[in-house]
Structure 1
């Protein structure tokens, strides 16, 4: 199974302005988790999209040291001055860093506050654990990286999905890990613009959006 879709939301995106897409970043954030979804929306802008895509740093100085210490990103905003997002994307990281960032009450409160007015809230990989730690996924179906499913199960109110690349439940879209962030973003494009547009974008990215999770070892 590729995806579980339980969305009954009416996604009413603004027609009189650009849709704000905020990508939350923090020290140690995974590069593909971050860049994959952003690239989908950037390419959607090249098609006929109307997206204002920006990063939001958890640090006040807007500086983020990416996964592996590979490069330092300077975000457009920090959580102190970021505008309200229409779509909020939370990328993942290693489990150890998940625990560290989840203890950042200011960042976690910012996620909760932003979510009050988002049209979509998305996570990639262990970003789903960060989202779960806010309590926002309680009562929802969700997924995360297959190595972190047990930790997601530690939240008894979340209906954990194990064999899918992403899950849509209401306004929440959660991806299974790393490259599945591209799937999540393409699914958002499909919801907003239709399947043909999402498929065309995937074709341009040379990306097989109809892949499955069947490669995982059988338990």
Structure 2
């Protein structure tokens, strides 16, 4: 999914066994901070069972958003443990095949009517959730250790009301959309992931892998999480520092030669523009042009 399509999706949601990693010295403090966070907020895995993880999918689900965390959880290896660390399955509203991003066809393992009770839920960017699916998320989250969204999956989680009054993040191109649609959510710019009780939200795309590694860390400790990352040959260290998306903390500044969307700071579609007080403004998707046209003084900075 390109960035424009990702924005279209967010707007549509309501606006019309390897060894341990060796870390460089500069990351040592961050690593120690992660250990401190894990000590303060650990999760207890069951002694005699796997941790059930439900991946909620619907049409257009962004593949890396759920396949990245899937690979993380699937690769966790605990020597001497009788059961796999995690038991993974897909869940959809119906048993019909789901067409994910790029045309990938997936037949769900379960429906929301018969899915096993999860301890972890992963919600990738996807189509808007039905009322039945939102009810399933709300009910299942009463008993989860972690219900996590990835990228603009945050809009699905937000639509349940569970994020009301809490801090959350999403893809950096959807910060404005999330804040406008859900003003009671404290949108965190520049966050790789945000944890709020048993809810967690990741930034865009690969951020979901970092949040999944953080969940592994909370269950089994930093050594197991780092071994999992090494097994995956995943060298990014965002899971050690939830603030590591700092480059997105401040809005992008446009130039004459590089105009950006007047609403969300994303790349523009030059066919979408409006003129206000003799100045031309561009937009990435038609929904953002509509928002601007309704209240141009709010976004024009005049």
Aligned to 1:73: 106
- TM-score, with length taken from structure 2: 0.64
Mapped pair 1:26 → 2:52: no
How far off its partner does 1:16 sit? Answer: 2.6
Note if contact 2:92-2:108 (Cα within 8 Å) is conserved in structure 1: yes
Matched with 2:90 is: 55
Alignment of 1:187-206 (within 5 A): 187-206=214-233
Residue 75 of structure 2: aligned partner:
43
Q: Matched residue pairs, number? A: 209
Please point out which of 94, 106, 118 is paired with 1:85: 118
> What SS does structure 2 have at the residue aligned with 1:53?
strand
How big is the alpha-carbon RMSD for the aligned residues of Structure 1 and Structure 2? 2.5
Give, in angstroms, the shift of residue 157 of structure 1: 2.0
Counterpart for residue 167 of structure 2 = 141
4+ aligned runs moved over 3 Å, structure 1: 2-10, 45-49, 214-219
Compared CA separation, residues 204 and 162, structure 1 to 2 (3 A): same
Asked if 1:170 is matched to 2:197, the reply is yes
Match of residue 98, structure 2, among 64, 82, 86:
64
| Separation in structure 2 between the aligned mates of residue 110 and residue 171 of structure 1, nearest angstrom | 16
- By relative contact order (CA 8 Å, sep 6+), the higher-ranking structure is 1
What runs of 5+ residues in structure 1 fail to find an aligned partner?
none
SS in 2 for 1:55: strand
Partner of 1:122: 148
